[in-house]
Structure 1
Amino acid sequence: MELSCKSEYALLALLELAAHYNSAEPLQIRQIAAQQNIPDRYLEQLLATLRRCGIVRSQRGARGGYILAREPWKITLFEAMSCIEGADSQQTEHNAATRTMESMVIREIWQEADRATASVMQKYTLQDLAEKRDARRQLDIMYYI
């Protein structure tokens, strides 16, 4: 199990939006892309997907951009990942009669691992991610003093 580039970019963008949540000012795609080193066009697609899922809102106009649709402590990483990965993460079910005993055992263990991953991702919110980032930044500052 790996973190896809698509999910990582989406979480980085959401982390940037969470960092600016209290200002209530929307961030433009180019701002987020520059801050997090994400290609503009790719970020545009990711934000559109997140908007359709109700995780971010878009605002039009000269002062437009994207903002979180809810508070960062109310958006779980699981929700964001599910939105971004969507149907890509859904495995197609094969006919149970044609499966071997070995493939059924492998599938059961894979499903258990998937449930464990989902459980961990449901425990963490964007706020938790931001706090962990800020704590690491503090450690870096202390290290260099």
Structure 2
Amino acid sequence: MELSSKSEYALLALLELANAYQSAQLLQIRQIAARRDIPERYLDQLLAILRRGGLIKGIRGAKGGYILAREPSQITLLDALRCIEGLDIVPSVEKTTSEEAERGAIEEIWYNAEQAANAVWQNYTLQDLCDRVAARRQLDYMYYI
């Protein structure tokens, strides 16, 4: 399993919005794109998906932009990934032939792996991600004698 660039860019954009949330600052596409090195057209598409998914709000106008729809501690990383990738997997039905039984067994294991991964993504929120970034930056600034 690998995180797609689509999901990575979406999470980076959400992280940027989470950092601006407490100050109620609206961020424009060009600001997010410049800060996170995401192509503006691609980011525009991702933000539209996140808006339709209810994770962010878009405000029109000269001073408009995007803001999270709810607090960063209320948005799990799984919420974001489901919105962007549609991660829900439906287990396959019972198969009858030998080849179908083999495929069914593989799909069943893949389903179990997806459920385990989803459980991990569900345990972390955007606020957790912000906290981890802050902790890593703090470690970068520390030095030892």
What is the TM-score when the length of structure 2 is the normalising length?
0.91
Residue of structure 1 in register with 2:27 after alignment: 27
Residue of structure 2 in register with 1:10 after alignment: 10
Q: Percent identity over the alignment?
A: 60
| Structure 1 SS opposite 2:30 | helix
Deviation at 1:37, TM superposition (A): 0.4
Q: How does 1:1-145 map to 2 (within 5 A)?
A: 1-86=1-86, 90=89, 96-97=95-96, 99-143=99-143
TM-align CA RMSD: 2.1
Distance 1:110 1:20, change over 3 A: same
Deviation at 1:106, TM superposition (A): 1.1
- Aligned residue identity for 2:83: C
| Structure 1 SS opposite 2:67 | strand
Alpha-carbon contact 2:95-2:101 (below 8 Å) kept: no
- How many residues were matched structurally? 144
Deviations 1:19-53 (A, max 9, x none): 01111011000000000000000000000000001
Instruction: Tell me the distance in 1 between the aligned counterparts of 2:102 and 2:89.
Output: 21
| Structure 1 SS opposite 2:22 | helix
Deviations 1:120-143 (A, max 9, x none): 011000000000000000000114
- Aligned residue identity for 2:131: E
Task: Looking at secondary structure, tell me which structure has more helix per residue.
Answer: 1
Unaligned runs of 5+ in 2: none
Alpha-carbon contact 2:56-2:66 (below 8 Å) kept: yes
Instruction: Tell me the distance in 2 between the aligned counterparts of 1:37 and 1:47.
Output: 15
Instruction: Tell me the distance in 2 between the aligned counterparts of 1:90 and 1:42.
Output: 26
| Structure 1 SS opposite 2:58 | strand
- Aligned residue identity for 1:50: L
Deviation at 1:103, TM superposition (A): 1.5
What is the TM-score when the length of structure 1 is the normalising length?
0.91
| Structure 2 SS opposite 1:23 | coil
